[in-house]
Structure 1
């Protein structure tokens, strides 16, 4: 099993979890923001979660304020916003940095396993998506413009 699945993360409620704690067949890790043009993707992410959670998909949201300061709230505000506006019930985590010296170790590992265009190690914007296989060995990266529903084929392939 990949070390990627062993990296500790703190949920929005303050609990320490690792990806492997979710025992999924596929993990969809997304850096999110409440005041972004892509924020409506929360609805699509929730739809994927509802449609595939019983088959082994776990959607994991990591709020991030690094892009245009589009996630200014605290954890309570973020959680409330997501629940009230988009009915989000998939796991959310504490706000993290995805780039730079303070980047969360999970994002350091994800970017290394699935570099961006031209080998870039950076995350370019909110709602960049990483689809991770059950053992953490396979990681696919999707740009913010990729709608959650556009990932269904890749998700279904991992859930078989």
Structure 2
């Protein structure tokens, strides 16, 4: 499976790479784990292009489950994110970006997973680089939305678009 572009904004591109492996109990190749990368191409000649591998999001994954797809990779369990639910916001020219994933859990709950990558070269007071981490927040859909005729139980994201360079909007055509 070839790498796939998921989203682009500004000078950043989010893409996915899957590692194929053969499972003796399955007739076709499997593709897991899934790695996500952001390529940042600054327009400044003083900043070289950067390739950032996103950390694996393990929040919300049942660690105790025994899933055969995880076995070849040292039980590297990761949250499954669908391409059509992921978006990217590029912030300026210094390699700062945000990746977000919206996953519907139930008719009245969604998970919002967000990873904010600080500017390149950003350090704490101790001199160590800040490592980006996913944060996952479970959001409840307000009950009055159903009363207004907005039933999100049928919502299925087709696209995620940046708005005004600081918001992401999930769209169901």
After TM superposition, the score normalised by the length of structure 1 is 0.26
Task: Please state which structure has a larger fraction of its residues in strand.
Answer: 2
Higher relative contact order (CA 8 A, sep 6+): 1
Task: Please state which structure has a larger fraction of its residues in helix.
Answer: 1
Between structure 1 and structure 2, the one with the greater Rg is 2
